[in-house]
Amino acid sequence: MSQLAPLSAPSQDLPSLIDRAASMLSGAKTAAEVLEAREVAGLAYDVAKRTARLQRAKSAHDDLVAAAHRAQAHALEIEARAKRRLADEYDAAQARGEVKRNGGDRSSVEDHNTASTADLGLRRDQIHEARQFRDAEAADPGIVRRTLDDRLERGEEPTRAALRKMVVDAAMRGLRPQRSASRRNPLYVAPTPEQAAWRHVTGTFRAFAEWASDENLALARKGMRQARDTPFHDLDATAIAEGSAAFTTIKEWFDAR
């Protein structure tokens, strides 16, 4: 791992800032590049949070506040992905002997040329948090996106604190030994991570299909037209395009059978 390069002052244009963070993370090849993407995503979150507060202070239309909250959620999701990548990169560097096992100061001759957490511009609590995000997603696939979506649907601000609480709970569930089979159903077997991931996919499709009546789709189309002039409409369009691409990929799995 190499140290994080100084982050240049990015544009304060929020949609561009979020796009930049997502692009940086997608193209990241090193731990330093992952860290830079995380920093940009964090900055985007802070800008979106200030935007939402200013809109509320101005008694702005609810759509503007909701758009700022969606931008916060986008930024938090990118930041969470960066943290998961960081945990993997850091653990791999430790396995290669490039980073001290305890992450602290060098304490022996053989550790003299081994980097510490501080050498990398990181704190131990940041590495711990990154591992929690990774472990939570492994234990409960989609936990980050669902947490953010739940808060948006309730009209609540998606905050780091709320996301961290859900992630820590999910990570702790993943660390606990699996419970024995239910007494009510002795044939029950807990799903594997692969099975849980597939159930999440099918559940998402099923829930959307049940919701997507002609009436609801007509309302959504009107809402889309009304949202075209909002500041963060491009972020919604990007999310829909990415979701559509994922849906197409999954359909191709079936077509290829």
Domain boundaries defined on the chain: 1-104+115-175, 192-257
Average confidence score pLDDT of the chain: 79
Confidence at residue 189, expressed as pLDDT on a 0 to 100 scale: 63
Average pLDDT over residues 134-140: 87
**pLDDT value, residue 231:** 64
The more confidently predicted of residues 107 and 202 is 202
Which residues face 135 on adjacent strands? none
Mean pLDDT of 109-126: 69
Cα 248 to Cα 210: distance, rounded to the nearest angstrom: 19
What tokens appear for 209 in the block?
A: 């299909």
**Residue 245's pLDDT is what?**
86
Q: Which two tokens stand for residue 246?
A: 């994922």
pLDDT at 7: 42
| HSE value, Cβ hemisphere, 13 Å, CA-based, for 168 | 8
The more confident residue out of 113 and 49 is: 49
Nearest 5°: the CA angle 205, 241, 65 is: 90
pLDDT at 66: 87
Q: How far is CA 101 from the centre of its chain?
A: 27
Evaluate if residue 183 carries a pLDDT over 70: no
Q: What is the pTM of this model?
A: 0.62
Residue 45: band (very low, low, confident or very high) from pLDDT cuts 50, 70, 90: very high
Q: Among 46-55, 87-96, 118-127, which stretch is predicted with the lowest mean pLDDT?
A: 118-127
Q: At what angle do helices 193-211 and 233-255 cross, to 10 degrees?
A: 120
Q: Which residues of 173-203 are buried (b: 16+ CB within 10 A; e: fewer)?
A: ebeeeeeeeeeeeeeeeeeeeeeeeeebeee
- Dist. CA 34–CA 133, nearest whole Å: 15
pLDDT in tens, 202-252: 777 777 787 888 888 888 888 888 877 776 667 777 778 888 888 888 888
For the segment 141-160, the average pLDDT, to the nearest whole number, is 91
Nearest to 22 by CA among 242, 249, 245: 242
Residues 121, 4: contact at Cβ < 8 Å?
A: yes
146: closest CA among 163, 165, 130?
163
**How would DSSP label each residue in 5-16?**
PPPP-----HHH
Q: Give the sign of the dihedral formed by CA 104, CA 105, CA 108, CA 112.
A: positive
Is residue 169 scored above 50 in pLDDT? yes
In this predicted structure, the answer to whether residue 109 has a pLDDT above a threshold of 50 is no
Range in 46-55, 110-119, 190-199, 201-210 with the lowest mean pLDDT: 110-119
